[in-house]
Amino acid sequence: MSSRANAMIRSLTATLGCTALALTSIVLAGPAEKDLVSQAQATVPDVQHGMILYLQHCAACHGRRAWGDGPREIPVLAGQRESYLLQELVRFANNGRQGSDMHGPIMHEILQPPDVDRSQAFRDLAAHLGQASHNPQPVHGDGQALALGERDYNRGCTGCHGRDGEGSERGAIPAIGGQGYSYLLTQLRSFASGRLTHPAVADSPVALSAEEQPAVADYVSRLDYLSSASAR
């Protein structure tokens, strides 16, 4: 990793943490990204090589097990949907998240070395993370408003993310059940403020009030897809 990338990581981690993957299914920006995803999907994944790449380029922020870091708002990647991981790796590598995500430049820099900036590497990384052991102890909120969180989640989120927060390979919809509370809350607040985009559907996260956002984040953090090995 370049000294410039290291400096950027230290600077942003000190403030908001090295947030990487926004929890929404984002349409690919253009034909070049779609072509690269198609090329990656056509390769045969090498999970062992993906693990090596992950340890070399990603573990410093996301942890050796890819369980993230709750206090630093770094998301869990272990067990995430492979199609979503592959899509987002391509978007970061091609600056597709530039402007909508303050951490896009960091991820873009990290994905520039020749050993990771290619379709085979993207497929290997996504395959490794998709099969990685799930985090048994995700970080939760205070548990004081779970009924409110459950109501809002079931009303506005299950149509895409599923009842258990499992997401879907079809459409590259990320799994969010069992994701860290602090990261989820930051994402919901970013959707509400407009810093991150989210599909404009009725009862989407952009419509949640300041009271509802932590309730939903806490409820979702307690769903078991990303925290239970049997969730699949």
In this structure, what CATH number is given to the domain that contains residue 99?
A: 1.10.760.10
Predicted pLDDT at 194: 80
Tell me, yes or no, whether 54 and 119 share the same domain: yes
Which of 81, 103, 131 delimits the end of a domain?
131
Residue 42 to residues 39, 84, 117, 175, 200: CA-CA distances in angstroms? 5, 16, 16, 23, 32
pLDDT mean over 33-51: 94
Predicted pLDDT at 32: 82
Q: Would you say residue 198 has pLDDT above 70?
A: yes
Span of 29-38, 60-69, 82-91, 197-206 with lowest mean pLDDT: 197-206
Tell me, yes or no, whether 117 and 194 share the same domain: no
Distance from C-alpha of 86 to C-alpha of 213, rounded to nearest angstrom? 28
Query: Which of 72, 53, 65 lies closest to 10 in space, CA to CA?
Result: 72
Q: Would you say residue 163 has pLDDT above 80?
A: yes
Q: Which domain holds residue 214?
A: 146-221
pLDDT mean over 191-196: 82
Distance from C-alpha of 172 to C-alpha of 126, rounded to nearest angstrom? 12
| Contact indicator for 81, 169 with CB cutoff of 8 Å | yes
Please, which pLDDT band fits residue 101 given cuts at 50, 70 and 90?
low
Per the structure, the count of domains in the chain is: 2
Tally the residues of the chain. 232
pTM for this prediction: 0.81
Q: Which residues pair with 168 in a beta bridge?
A: 173
Please, which pLDDT band fits residue 103 given cuts at 50, 70 and 90?
low
Question: In 10 A of CB 33, how many CB atoms?
Answer: 18
